[in-house]
Amino acid sequence: MEVVRTHDALFRFVFEQPEQMAELLQSQLPPALTAAIDWPTLRRVDGNFVDQALQDRLTDLLFEVQVGGAPLLLHALVDHKSRADWATALQLARYTLRIHDRWLADHPDARRLPPVLPFVVHHGDRPWQAARSVDELVDLRGFPADAAAFLRPLQLRLPFVLLDLATMDEAAVEQLRLSAVTGVTLRFLHFLRGLPPKEALAQVERWSPKLRQLYAHTRGREVLGALTSWYASRVGGDPQDLRVIMIKIYKDDDELPPYSLLDFLLDEGREQGRKEALQQGEHLGMRHLLESQLRTRFGVDPAPYANRLAAADLATLQSWGDRLLRATSIEQVFA
User: What is the rounded CA–CA span in Å between residue 291 and residue 319?
Assistant: 14
SS3 of residue 298 by DSSP: helix
- Which phi and psi (to 5°) does residue 154 adopt? -90, -10
* Contact indicator for 231, 200 with CB cutoff of 8 Å: yes
Comparing C-alpha atoms, which of 289, 296, 295 is closest to residue 318? 289
Residue 292 lies in a domain: yes
Which residue segment(s) compose the domain that 315 sits in?
259-333
Residue 312 lies in a domain: yes
Residue 190 lies in a domain: no
Give the percent of the chain with pLDDT over 90: 33
Are residues 22 and 163 part of one domain? yes
User: What is the rounded CA–CA span in Å between residue 105 and residue 75?
Assistant: 18
Are residues 156 and 11 part of one domain? yes
DSSP per-residue letters across 300-322: S--GGGHHHHHH--HHHHHHHHH
Mean pLDDT across the chain, nearest whole number?
A: 80
Are residues 159 and 278 part of one domain? no
Q: Confidence band (pLDDT; 50, 70, 90) for 76?
A: confident
CA angle 287, 283, 3 (to 5 degrees): 160
Does 84 have pLDDT greater than 80? no
Residue 203 lies in a domain: no
Count how many domains the chain has: 2
Q: Confidence band (pLDDT; 50, 70, 90) for 43?
A: very high
Are residues 128 and 23 part of one domain? yes
Residue 94 lies in a domain: yes
List C-alpha distances in Å: 53 to 50, 58, 60, 306.
9, 10, 12, 23
Does 300 have pLDDT greater than 90? no
The alpha helices in 143-207, defined as continuous H runs, are 145-151, 170-175, 180-191, 197-206
Are residues 19 and 160 part of one domain? yes
Residue 226 lies in a domain: no
Are residues 134 and 26 part of one domain? yes
Helix or strand holding residue 70 (H, E): strand 70-79
Are residues 22 and 159 part of one domain? yes
Residue 232 lies in a domain: no
Residue 45 lies in a domain: yes
